[in-house]
């Protein structure tokens, strides 16, 4: 479950209606019409997009840009049919991963490599290379990166201080387990968990699998090589998660708690740690009992730790990766518009006004909030960006990962059996 999807679900239908917009009236007479389909419901983002579109139109006479809105679930349901019709948009929002790959394999899309590499690779060189890699397969780039995201640990500084835990010394998984034990011994609930929604707990298995397998091992598993997802690193990931579960680190009733409940638990100061999105400092406040939550100066952040002797790096990141895909019959100006959208100046404006994690190099300096800025700077230095597994491996495999993660941490499933279930589900997707 991506942060973006979660955010959409939290917004009202009134907000959705408010952002339905058409840029450039009279576009029927335009020489080229770029039809831009999106699912964004945040008015600030759409307002800025509108400005950017009009700027581009002013610099490119004869080009008009129409913004077309589809609600998130309707978007997912209608896009497969829409892409094969005469009403296909010129460019549309994508979460990347298996769905984007399947869309490309139908022949409905065109890769953007030629545009990325024009002018000596000026566009490509301006973007975080891991963001490009995350939207690439079969040696081609199938979408223009728009924004990134990062799942990491957030903690209550006062509770850590009370328990005598130094977050800067949590470097390895062993260190993390030690911190959990220390918090429990001090009478502090270590972690806020949302077991009912399941996906909040799959973050643990996903990160542990990344740390155990490393980028190459993960890529091999996706390619069906070296035993796939039943290989030793993925079994070990489950063993580490089971080890955490045996410490009973979560709040009472966590298996019946939603993600919003977990945010409230953290925001109310009833648990010291939450593994969550870059938006966590804001959403913990809005979900807390007081609607104020923890003050941001009482929230710290640290990366998911490494595992001793395993190839995964602390700079290997897990989180959302979104972009814009181009359809095969889109006007030739579409890539030029996307290049403008991805420029450092536009990305800085988006980062400042909408708090996205930008993909353009140097754009993170526009972010003012310290925790968000820290995330953006971390992403700028990442060595590998792994998209959410329900996107990268597909929703069916993602659902299995969610299920087994909860079963492992609650003691209901052996790690080897969990790895087998994931491999079985992924094998079906590959057929």
What is the residue whose two structure tokens read 């978007």? 75
Domain ranges of the chain: 3-148+320-377, 152-318+393-430
Residue 31: its pLDDT value, please?
A: 84
Spatial distance between the Cα atoms of 375 and 302, rounded to a whole number of angstroms: 10
The continuous run of DSSP H or E covering 36 comes out as strand 32-38
Residue 296: its pLDDT value, please?
A: 96
How remote is the C-alpha of 28 from its chain's centroid? 36
Q: Are 320 and 388 in contact (CB under 8 A)?
A: yes
Residue 30: its pLDDT value, please?
A: 53
Spatial distance between the Cα atoms of 364 and 128, rounded to a whole number of angstroms: 11
Q: What is the third-level CATH fold of 3-148+320-377?
A: D-Maltodextrin-Binding Protein; domain 2 (3.40.190)
**What's the angle, vertex CA 93, arms to CA 88 and CA 94, rounded to 5?**
110
How remote is the C-alpha of 309 from its chain's centroid? 27
Helix (H, G, I), strand (E, B) or coil at 147: strand
Q: Are 340 and 56 in contact (CB under 8 A)?
A: yes
Which CB contacts under 8 angstroms, 24+ apart, belong to 411-415? Answer: 411/242, 411/245, 411/246, 414/238, 415/235, 415/236, 415/237, 415/238, 415/239, 415/241, 415/242
Q: Which residues of the chain have a pLDDT value below 50?
A: 2-29
Residue 15: its pLDDT value, please?
A: 38
Spatial distance between the Cα atoms of 151 and 388, rounded to a whole number of angstroms: 10
The structure tokens listed for 334 are 């579409």
- Domain 152-318+393-430 grouped into CATH 3.40.190.10: yes
Strands (E), 246-360: 273-276, 299-302, 316-318, 321-326
Residue 10: its pLDDT value, please?
A: 35
Residue 98: its pLDDT value, please?
A: 87
Q: Are 417 and 28 in contact (CB under 8 A)?
A: no
**pTM higher than 0.75 for the full model?**
yes
Let me know if the fold of 3-148+320-377 is the same as that of 152-318+393-430. yes
């Amino acid at each position: 479950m991506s942060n973006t999807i979660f955010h959409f679900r939290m917004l009202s239908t009134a907000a959705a209606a408010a952002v339905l917009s058409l840029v450039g009236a009279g576009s029927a007479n335009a020489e080229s019409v770029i039809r831009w389909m999106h699912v964004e419901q945040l008015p600030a983002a759409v307002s800025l997009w509108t400005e950017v579109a009009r700027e581009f139109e002013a610099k490119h006479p004869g080009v008009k840009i129409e913004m077309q809105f589809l609600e998130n679930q309707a978007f997912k349901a209608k896009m497969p049919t829409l892409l094969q019709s005469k009403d296909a948009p010129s460019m549309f929002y994508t979460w990347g991963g298996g769905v984007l790959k399947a869309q490309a394999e139908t022949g409905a899309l065109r890769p953007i490599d030629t545009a990325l590499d024009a002018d000596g690779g000026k566009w490509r060189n301006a973007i975080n290379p891991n963001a490009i890699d995350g939207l690439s397969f079969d040696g081609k780039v199938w979408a223009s990166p728009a924004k990134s995201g990062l799942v990491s640990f957030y903690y209550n500084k006062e509770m850590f201080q009370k328990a005598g835990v130094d977050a800067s010394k949590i470097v390895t998984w062993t260190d993390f387990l030690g911190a959990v034990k220390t918090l429990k011994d001090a009478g502090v609930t270590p972690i806020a968990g949302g077991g009912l929604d399941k996906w909040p707990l799959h973050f643990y298995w996903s990160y542990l699998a990344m740390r155990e397998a490393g980028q190459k091992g993960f890529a091999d598993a996706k390619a069906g090589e070296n035993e796939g997802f039943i290989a030793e690193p993925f079994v070990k990931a489950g063993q580490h998660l089971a080890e955490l579960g045996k410490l009973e680190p979560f709040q009472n009733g966590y298996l019946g708690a939603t993600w919003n409940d977990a945010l409230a638990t953290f925001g109310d100061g009833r648990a010291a740690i939450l593994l969550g999105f870059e938006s966590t400092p804001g959403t913990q406040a809005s979900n807390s009992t007081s609607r104020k939550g923890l003050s941001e100066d009482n929230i710290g952040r640290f990366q998911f730790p490494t595992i001793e002797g395993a190839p995964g790096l602390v700079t290997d990141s897990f989180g959302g990766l979104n972009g814009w895909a181009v359809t095969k019959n889109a006007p030739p100006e579409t890539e030029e518009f996307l290049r403008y959208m991805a420029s450092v100046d536009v990305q800085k404006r988006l980062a400042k006004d909408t708090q996205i994690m930008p993909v353009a190099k140097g754009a993170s300096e526009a972010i003012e909030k310290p925790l968000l800025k820290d995330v953006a700077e971390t992403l700028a230095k990442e060595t590998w960006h792994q998209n959410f597994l329900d996107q990268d491996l597909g929703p069916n495999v993602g659902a299995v990962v969610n299920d087994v993660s909860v079963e492992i941490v609650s003691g209901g499933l052996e790690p080897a059996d969990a790895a087998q279930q994931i491999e079985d589900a992924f094998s079906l997707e590959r057929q």
